[in-house]
Amino acid sequence: AKARHFHWEVGYLFWSPDCVENPVMGINGQYPGPTIRAKAGDTVVVHLHNKLHTEGVVIHWHGIRQFETPWADGTASISQCVINPEETFVYRFKVDKAGTYFYHGHYGMQRSAGLYGSLIVDVADGEKEPFHYDGELNLLLSDWWHQNVHEQEIGLSSNPMRWIGEPQSILMNGKGQYNCSLAGHLSKKTSLCKLRADAQCAPPILHVLPNKTYRLRLASTTSLASLNLAIGHHKMVLVEADGNYVQPVTLDDIDIYSGESYSVLITTNQNPSMNYWVSLGVRGRHPATPPGLTILNYHPNTARPPSSPLPIHAAWDDYPHSKAIANKILALQGSPKPPTRYDRRIYLLNTQNKINGFTKWSINNVSLALPSTPYLGSIKFGLKGAFDHQSPPENFSSEYDVMKPPSNPNSTVSSGVYKLEFGKTIDVILQNANALNANVSEIHPWHLHGHDFWVLGYGEGKFSEEKHSKNLNLKNPPLRNTVVIFPYGWTAIRFVTDNPGVWAFHCHIEPHLHMGMGVIFAESVERIKNIPQAAIGCGMTAKMVMNNSHT
């Protein structure tokens, strides 16, 4: 195992992600940020220097559990103080498990500004993946707005709220094409893109040799969009989800929600004189964004757009299609199994609410607002005044009708901290509900920091102890770090508190988190030792660092 050092500067730059120039947040003058590649067991060390002139910054290593380094999780106000302009913070953490990961900003809406990149962990020397492939392809998926993130954020925080709307473009590796299409020659509606091969917005063409198997890595850091990937004439075999091996399953297309990552194997066994479409369509919201496109280019054909029709995605609201895919994702045989009993079951009702006229999202009627002093330090040192210590409710009224808009939409703001004891089995039942408008319930992909969890099942309507508890999958539930709740449905997860830290658990839709859609798990914080001073030298913990007495 090695230590792999990276020296990064975060700054704004002008860039044309979808052929339209905008300010984006990049790293070392690049957008998306550089790919981190390491081997399982390595230590990644990122020296992060903030070159933004007027904003703090942090970076979260999505899917990395941060065993024994909870201060390196990169969550502003939760695990660390923001890194101020011209400051450098050193993220040092172990990547213990091979898989497809990514990193992204976790302060305000900086992920939506473009602060992200891939993080790929290969198996340790001498180890093998449980599947074979000849080559590898990597697509980091995102969505893009022309309105800059500051304006988006002001809109979301205004009364009345100004919603961000649907993205202008879907991006692959930070590249999309606004107002034209690679498939323009097939359609009367759009024009063919005129792109220079070296344009920043030129699609990342997937170059392949005939009759080989490729591992296609997919990770979604979208701000909002749920996506569906389909490749013309090619099936995919799903083998990995969120850095965990799954039972290989053949799919025609795959849904990818924000915060999720997958590996699929594709075999280039189709007519080699042709190229094929790779298409990313929007799911779960009435699409106002054309599909993101690129080309699967068989060697030695020129990389011209195929003349075949575009792959067809299921209708945006074909939830049975999405549920069928979700239910096919199961753990590879031999994967760790969940404990058969839980110690504590927490029910989290997701609702859209109002607070003094402002539109928010709440969990059990509590909308998350982060404090100025990061929880990691304030909880460790018992600083009573640093946040609202009243634990939020573990359940919601059995009378609550999840099929209707809230009868009382008024909600409250709080620090949202659930204290978790070490060594316990925790179940969370995520319960979806109707939003503020009648007949609307949206998809929410929930992401847990510091852990993988077992997905025990999905269901319709309100979760019922009597009806649903006995049907949960304890046999081969997949381990994930992100899972979706379907409209008007519930999702049950289980994890074991084996990792002291302060972990965010939240909807990975950036504007939804911004509007309060998350909770905090403070997990056996008393066991955390040697918090680096740089992580907590702000707010009420700044003094302790100066006295140098407690860390």
Torsion 234-235-240-241 (CA) sign: positive
With binding defined as CB under 6 A, does residue 439 bind ligand ASC?
no
Residues 163-182 as x/- pattern, contact with ligand ASC by CB under 6 A: x-------------------
Tell me: does residue 522 bind ligand ASC (CB under 6 A): no
Question: Based on CB atoms, which residue is closest to ligand ASC, 451 or 506?
Answer: 506
Tell me which residue of 420, 490, 496 sits closest to 454, measured CA to CA: 496
Of the candidates 85, 59, 55, the one whose C-alpha atom is nearest the C-alpha of residue 72 is 59
Nearest to 44 by CA among 9, 4, 73: 4
| Residue with smaller CB distance to ligand ASC, 177 or 434 | 434
Minimum CB separation of residue 512 from ligand ASC in Å reads 6
The answer to the question of residue 435 lying near ligand ASC (CB under 6 A) is yes
Cis before 409 (ω within 30): no
Interface with ligand ASC includes 153 (CB under 6 A)?
A: no
Collapsing DSSP states into helix, strand and coil, what is residue 62? strand
Contact set for ligand ASC, span 318-357 (CB under 6 A): none
The distance of Cα 109 from the centroid of its chain, to the nearest Å, equals: 13
- Token pair in block for residue 402: 């999840």
- In the chain the first and final C-alpha atoms are separated, in Å, by 28
Q: Is 491 helix (H, G, I), strand (E, B) or coil?
A: strand
Quick one: 203 or 511, whose CB is closer to ligand ASC?
511
> Closest approach of Cβ 441 to ligand ASC, in Å?
10
Could you tell me the smallest distance in angstroms from the CB atom of residue 320 to ligand ASC? Answer: 22
C-alpha to C-alpha distance for 508 and 138, rounded to whole angstroms: 21
In this structure, which amino acid lies at residue 447? H
- Between residues 46 and 509, which has the closer beta carbon with respect to ligand ASC? 509
Q: Is 370 in the site for ligand ASC (CB under 6 A)?
A: no
Q: Is 141 in the site for ligand ASC (CB under 6 A)?
A: no
Cis amide leading into 532 (omega within 30): no
Residue type, 364: N
Provide, rounded to whole angstroms, the least separation between the CB of residue 491 and ligand ASC. 18
Strand-pairing partners, residue 426, are: 344, 495
Is the CB of residue 27 less than 8 Å from the CB of residue 210?
Answer: no
The site map against ligand ASC for 379-418 (x = CB under 6 A) is: ----------------------------------------
Query: Taking a C-beta distance cutoff of 8 angstroms, is the pair 278, 368 a contact?
Result: no
Is residue 14 a contact point for ligand ASC (CB under 6 A)? no
Cβ 430 to ligand ASC shortest distance, Å:
16
> Taking CB under 6 A as the criterion, which residues in 473-512 touch ligand ASC?
512
Give yes or no for residue 159 binding ligand ASC (CB under 6 A): no
Asked if 442 touches ligand ASC (CB under 6 A), the answer is yes
Looking at the Cβ atoms of 447 and 451, the one nearer to ligand ASC is 447
- Which positions lie near ligand ASC, rule CB under 6 A? 163, 435, 442, 512
